Structure 1
Amino acid sequence: MLANRQQFDADLQKLRQVLIEMGDLVKKAILDSVNSLKDSNVELAKKVIDADKEINVFEERVDDIGSRLIATQQPVATDLRRILIAFKMAGDLERMADLAVDIAKVTVRNGNQPFIKPLVDIPRMAEVVQQMTKDSITAYIEENVDLSYKMAKMDDEVDELHSEILRELFVMMAKEPKNVNQVLNLCFVSRYLERMADHATNIGESVVYLVKGTRPDLN
């Protein structure tokens, strides 16, 4: 029985490590996608798009390790929740990576076209989302409920930035209708970042469920 528990703990640690590495890749994808947009760096954008395949592999690794644990160890209670939440976390992280790819595709579409305004709030949103991504993984590893609730406040900050960006862009579009395509693309980028923050907050909700057995609505 002790040997089984030691093996389970070792495999669970592997699962945690895969999620940490996956989270690092997602943070890099977010940073690179926004930097590619800000700098009109199409080559960097293409690297973000290509790197998405690697992130998908990490999600598959989480599925494989977690499924094997359930099949061979038949965990119950909190141990089972840890694995099920790992599945959900991997799904949220993978979706965040997909949204980073969507931003990179905007960079490709925009090419070297000058921006109608300096990009200030969008990079700020990206910084908050990156921190939320980091905190979501830390909250899971440490089973830190306080950090999960802190992420809800950060999500509110992202929502406020998103609203401000939309208001400003719509005013600019009304004044200069010829810029409608770029305005819409920047609106999409802001929306993608706002959705990333929601996925990070979802992970925070899962951590609260893991620790307390009830799922709050942090979004």
Structure 2
Amino acid sequence: MAAGSLAEFAEHVLRVDELFHDGADDSEAAVVPRRALRDRINPLEHFSDGEFLSRYRFTKDTVRELLKCLPMEESVSNRGHPLPPMLQLAVALRFYGSGTFQVVTGDLINVSQPTVCRAVERISTLIAAHLFPRTVKFPATAAEFQADTTAFYRLGRFPGVTGCIDCTHIRIKSPGGQLGEVFRNRKGYFSINVQMPTHQIPQRAGIRRPTSKPETVWRGLLEFGSAAFHA
């Protein structure tokens, strides 16, 4: 083979090699890593009764009954590996009960943070729309107030008592604006003070107020109770 032909052949090989490596680089750049799917844990099957109660603040039977009260249906398709209603409820209850980060809540049953976010939003909306009006209320009539007063008196000889109250702080981001500081509590962070009056019967009525002044809380409570009584 002539020297010219060898040189041309060598040059051709180098060009082919360059094209091959350039194509390989493009292929590598175009590869999208596939999401690893992990087996989801059903907490009702995975945890004992005591373990479940300590993590979710409800018994397994209570959670099953709660699910029946919410209009949720299984997805008709498996596209995107949707979270079953029971696991959505478990995720939301865990988030409510622990107050931890959504990613930590998701790690408990092997789901992502966006999945936790969607589940909490959906369950919260369903509870507010369907469960709240049925179970959370003040006595609406004088007769109901009298029934509560009688029940408390029978319970511990407490005269004139219609309910007990407790409060907790729900941490929030600063709402900003001129009223932002109204939501700063005595410990220095922003929160909503949630009061929970509890009757002798298992019904509750929650009131949410800014937290900087206790008199704001009590004024709101009295206004709410008066409105309920005269409704």
TM range (shorter): under 0.3
Higher-Rg structure is 2
State the TM-score, normalized to the length of structure 2: 0.24
Q: Comparing both structures, which one devotes a greater share of its residues to strand? A: 2
Q: Comparing both structures, which one devotes a greater share of its residues to helix? A: 1
